[in-house]
Amino acid sequence: QSVLTQPPSASGTPGQRVTISCSGSSSNIGSNTVNWYQQLPGTAPKLLIYSNNQRPSGVPDRFSGSKSGTSASLAISGLQSEDEADYYCAAWDDSLNGHVVFGGGTKLTVL
C-alpha cells in the first residue's frame, strides 16, 4: 500500500488530454513539493515534473503539473504514442526521519 494514492491505470487516444491524480496527506503533499516521474518499459525512471509544476530541460510543454492542498495532478495534452509509460508521483514526507514517498504508479495506455 503506497503512501500516495494514484489510479492504477489511465488511457487516452492520440491528441487527447489525460490527467493523473495523486492524493497524499498533510505530512507529504500538504507541506512539500510534488515531483512526477515517467518510466518507459525497461528503463530507469526519468524526472518529468519537479516542484509541483516545473519541467526539467527537454521535457515537452505538453506535460504539466499542479498541486492543491494534499493532492496533485499531472496533465498530458496532445497525447502521443510515445507517452505510453508508467507515471509516479513522489513527495518528501516529514514524518519520522523524513523520507521520500511514492505513489503506486499509473500505467498510461495510448489507445
Partner 1 sequence: EVQLVQSGAEVKKPGESLKISCKGSGYSFTSYWIGWVRQMPGKGLEWMGIIYPGDSDTRYSPSFQGQVTISADKSISTAYLQWSSLKASDTAMYYCARPAVPYCGGDCSLVYWGQGTLVTVSS
Residues at the contact surface with partner 1, assessed by CB under 8 A: 2, 32-33, 35, 37, 39, 44-47, 50-51, 56, 86, 88, 90, 92, 96-105
Closest to partner 1 by CB, 15 vs 56, is: 56
Q: Which is nearer to partner 1, 19 or 102 (CB)?
A: 102
Cβ 45 to partner 1 shortest distance, Å: 6
Q: Of 70, 69, 76, 101, which is closest to residue 88 (Cα–Cα)? A: 101
d(CA 100, CA 92): 4
The nearest distance, CB 30 to partner 1, in angstroms, is 12
Contacts of 28 (CB under 8 A, 6+ apart): 3, 4, 70, 91, 92, 93, 94, 101
Q: Give me the least distance between CB of 92 and partner 1, in Å please.
A: 5
